[in-house]
C-alpha cells in the first residue's frame, strides 16, 4: 500500500538514504529539513521524482501536512553540531517531538522517533539492553542531546498512552556510510578525512574505548521494519551492530584501507564521553527479524570511496565551537 510519508531531517545523512529508499518503494515522500547540518546535495537527485517533495522548515515551528507516516529524524546528532547551540538542540528534540506528535494525532498517522544510544550515557551495563535506564549527566556538555532525546521518548510514550497515537521508538547506535558530513566530528568521518588529507589521526583518550559501527543501509532497513511491525510493539528497540571495536582498531583499519601514512596522535578524552558502547539487539532480532549484514571492512571501503569522490570545499567548515 502506497503512503504519504514525512521524513523530518530528511536531507541529513540517514534521512536522505531513508527518503531515497521510500521513494524507490513508490511512496509519496515529503522531506523536511532546515539545512543546519545537512546538505541539499544529499537529495538533489530526488528533486525530479514525481513522488518526492522538499520543504525547508524548522521542526521547532508548527507545520500542517496530511500524512500517513512520519519518521522524525530532525536533530543535530554529532557533538560538534549539537553543542554549538545546545539550547536549540534541546528545543529541536522537545518542540520537534511535540509538533510531529500533534500532527500524528490529528492525521491518525504512525510516527517513528529516531532516538539514540546516547540515552544510555556512559553505560554501567554492557552490552546495553533496552531495559537499561542509563547513566547520564543531566548538566554535562552532552546533556542537550542525551536528555533531549530521553525527554522526546517520554513525550512519545505519553502521546501513545493518553491519545492512542501509534508510535515507534528506535535507539540508533553509531552509524556510518556515504553522505556523512566530513566535518560532523564523528570518529569514522574524522579518521577518513584526516587519513585522506595526510593529517594526524586524532584519537581522544588512549584509544581503548569501544564503539559498534552499523552501515547506513542496515540502519535504514531496521527503521523501515520497525515502522511496519505489529501495532502492539512501540519499542524502544536498539538498532546497531553488536560487533565491538576499539577506537584504535578503527583508526588502524582506516589507515590500512586508505593507504595513508598519517600518524596517530592522542588527546584528552572529552567530558562524559562513553568508554564502552555496544547494543544488545536480541529484541530487534526477535521482533523485527533484523540484524546488520555489512562487515565493517566492506562498509568502510564504500565510505572511503565516497569521501574520495567529493569536493570538501562544498561542505561547511566546522562551527566556531567545534
What angle (nearest 5°) sits at the alpha carbon of residue 232, between those of residues 228 and 233? 65
Question: Rounded CA gap, 272 and 141, in Å?
Answer: 8
Question: Rounded CA gap, 143 and 90, in Å?
Answer: 9
Where do we find the cell 555496544? 278
Instruction: Report the SS3 class of residue 214.
Output: strand
Contact (CB, 8 A) for 109 and 67: yes
Question: Using only C-alpha atoms, what is the Rg of the chain?
Answer: 19
* Closest C-alpha to 263, from 177, 171, 191: 191
Contact (CB, 8 A) for 288 and 237: yes
Q: Say how far residue 97 (Cα) sits from the centre of its chain.
A: 16
Q: Say how far residue 142 (Cα) sits from the centre of its chain.
A: 15
Cβ-proximal residues to 158 (8 Å cutoff; 6+ apart), any chain: none
Strand pairing category for 4-8 and 210-211? unpaired
Structural element, H or E, at residue 309: helix 296-309
Question: Rounded CA gap, 206 and 259, in Å?
Answer: 23
Instruction: Record the cell numbers describing residue 174, joined without a space.
Output: 553509531
Where do we find the cell 546497531? 240
Annotated catalytic residues are 145
Amino acid at each position: 500500500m502506497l503512503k504519504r510519508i514525512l521524513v523530518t531531517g530528511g536531507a541529513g545523512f540517514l534521512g536522505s538514504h531513508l527518503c531515497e529508499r521510500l521513494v524507490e518503494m513508490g511512496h509519496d515522500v515529503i522531506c523536511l529539513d532546515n539545512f543546519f547540518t545537512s546538505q541539499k546535495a544529499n537529495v538533489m537527485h530526488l528533486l525530479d521524482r514525481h513522488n518526492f517533495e522538499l520543504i525547508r522548515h524548522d521542526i521547532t515551528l508548527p507545520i500542517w501536512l496530511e500524512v500517513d507516516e512520519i519518521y522524525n529524524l530532525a536533530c543535530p546528532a554529532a557533538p560538534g553540531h549539537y553543542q554549538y547551540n545546545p539550547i536549540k538542540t534541546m528545543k529541536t528534540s522537545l518542540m520537534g517531538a511535540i509538533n510531529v506528535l500533534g500532527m500524528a494525532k490529528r492525521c491518525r498517522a504512525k510516527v517513528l522517533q529516531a532516538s539514540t544510544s546516547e540515552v544510555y550515557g556512559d553505560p554501567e551495563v554492557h552490552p546495553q539492553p533496552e531495559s537499561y535506564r542509563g547513566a547520564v549527566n543531566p548538566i554535562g556538555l552532552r546533556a542537550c542531546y542525551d536528555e533531549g532525546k530521553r525527554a522526546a521518548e517520554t513525550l512519545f510514550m505519553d502521546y501513545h498512552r493518553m491519545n492512542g497515537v501509534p508510535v515507534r521508538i528506535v535507539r540508533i547506535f553509531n552509524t556510518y556510510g556515504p553522505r556523512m558530513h566530513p566535518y560532523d566530528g564523528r570518529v569514522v568521518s574524522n579518521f577518513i578525512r584526516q587519513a585522506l588529507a595526510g593529517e594526524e589521526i586524532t584519537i581522544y583518550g588512549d584509544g581503548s574505548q569501544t564503539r559498534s559501527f552499523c552501515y547506513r543501509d542496515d540502519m535504514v532497513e531496521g527503521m523501515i521494519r520497525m515502522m511496519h511491525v505489529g501495532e502492539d510493539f512501540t519499542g524502544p528497540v536498539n538498532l546497531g551492530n553488536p560487533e565491538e571495536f576499539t577506537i584504535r582498531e578503527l583508526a588502524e583499519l582506516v589507515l590500512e584501507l586508505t593507504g595513508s601514512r598519517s600518524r596517530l596522535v592522542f588527546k584528552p578524552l572529552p567530558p562524559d564521553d562513553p568508554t564502552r558502547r555496544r547494543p544488545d539487539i536480541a529484541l530487534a532480532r526477535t521482533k523485527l527479524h533484523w540484524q546488520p549484514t555489512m562487515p565493517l571492512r566492506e562498509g568502510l571501503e564504500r565510505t572511503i570511496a565516497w569521501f574520495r569522490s567529493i569536493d570538501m570545499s562544498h561542505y561547511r567548515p566546522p562551527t566556531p565551537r567545534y
